[in-house]
A and B are shown apart, each in its own frame.
Chain A
Amino acid sequence: MSVESWGAVLAEHQADLQASWLAEVAPPLAGRVTRQELERDGRELFGALAAGAAVSGSFSDGAYDELRAVLTELSRSRARQGLTPSETATSVFAVKTAFLRAPGVQPDAAFVALSQFVDELGLFTFEVYVEARERVIGEQSEQLLELSTPVVKLWDGVVAVPLVGTLDSARTQVVMEKLLQSLVDTGSEHAIIDITGVPAVDTQVAQHLLKTILAARLMGAECQISGISPQIAQTIVALGIDFGEIRTRATLADALVHALRSTGADVVRGAGAPARTGR
Chain B
Amino acid sequence: MDRVPVLRLGGLLLVSIQVDLEDSTALALQEDLSQAVVATGARGVLIDISGLEIVDSFVGRMLSTIAAVSRVLDAETVVVGMRPAVAITLVELGLDLAGVRTALDVERGMRVLGSTTAPRADGLPLAR
Contact = CB atoms under 8 A, between A and B. Distances in A.
B91 A184 contact: no
B52 to A, nearest CB: 12
Contact of A217 (B84, B86, B102, B109): B102
Interface string A191-222: 00000000000000000000100111111110
B104 A218 contact: no
Contacts of A217: 102
B74 interface: no
B56 to A, nearest CB: 14
Interface residues of A, number: 18
Interface in B83-128: 83-88, 90-92, 96-97, 102-105, 108-109
Interface string A89-126: 00000000000000000000000000000000000000
Contacts of B108: 187, 189, 220
Contacts of A211: 88, 91-92
Interface residues of B, number: 21
Given A220-B82, A220-B109, A215 B104 contact: no
A219 B96 contact: no
A193 to B, nearest CB: 15
Contacts of A221: 104
Nearest to A211: B91
Interface in A211-239: 211, 214-221
A265 to B, nearest CB: 15
Interface in B65-86: 78-80, 82-86
A184, A214, A217, A218: most-surrounded residue (chain B CB, <10 A): A218
A183 interface: yes
Given A215-B90, A215-B91, A220 B84 contact: no
A215 B87 contact: yes
Contacts of A220: 78-80, 82, 102-105, 108-109
Contact of B96 (A176, A188, A214): A214
B104 A189 contact: yes
A64 to B, nearest CB: 57
A247 B13 CA distance: 32
A151 interface: no
Interface string B34-70: 0000000000000000000000000000000000000
Nearest to A184: B84
A219 B78 CA distance: 11
A259 interface: no
A205 to B, nearest CB: 15
Interface string A162-191: 000000000000001100110110011100
A185 to B, nearest CB: 10
A177 B88 CA distance: 8
B83 A184 contact: yes
A214 B100 CA distance: 13
Contact of B90 (A176, A187, A188, A218): A218
Contacts of B84: 177, 180-181, 183-184, 215, 219
What are the nearest 8 A-B pairs in CB distance?
A180-B84, A220-B103, A215-B87, A220-B102, A218-B87, A220-B104, A214-B91, A211-B91
Interface of A: 176-177, 180-181, 183-184, 187-189, 211, 214-221
12 contacts: A177-B84, A183-B104, A184-B84, A187-B108, A214-B96, A215-B84, A218-B96, A219-B83, A219-B102, A220-B80, A220-B104, A221-B104
